[in-house]
Amino acid sequence: MNKLFIDDKAIVFIKDELAKESASAIRIFTGGGGCCSRFQVAPVNKALTGDVTHRKDGITVHIEKEIAENTGLIWIKFDEPKGLLIEFE
């Protein structure tokens, strides 16, 4: 992964959620299983082994190693009706 972008609305949302959860970072990972795997985000206090860590605008983001190795760009956005959105390229 070469670049991580987080829009201003997402920064505010993430900081508020981290404060509510008493967490220090968010983690992006592949969740689910079988035919229904999907990308998920969760508040965490530490990275897992192999995670790639980025700091952006006061937010620490731990990204699952497989995702980091297979993407060039990650956009984290916030949309009022949909919530937090993550796009990969």
CATH of the domain at 79: 2.60.300.12
Please state the length of the chain.
Answer: 89
Is the pLDDT score of 87 beyond 80?
A: yes
Number of domains in the chain: 1
**26-56: pLDDT as tens digits:** 999 988 776 776 888 999 999 999 999 999 9
* Domain residue limits at 34: 3-88
In the 3-class helix/strand/coil scheme, how is 7-30 assigned residue by residue?
CHHHHHHHHHHHHHHCCCEEEEEE
**Among 10, 9, 34, residue whose Cα is nearest residue 61:** 10
The C-alpha atoms of residue 48 and residue 61 are separated, in whole angstroms, by 12
Whole-model pTM? 0.89
Cα separation, 74 vs 59, whole angstroms:
14
Q: Token pair of 72, please?
A: 């060039």
The pLDDT-based confidence of 2 (bands split at 50, 70, 90) is confident
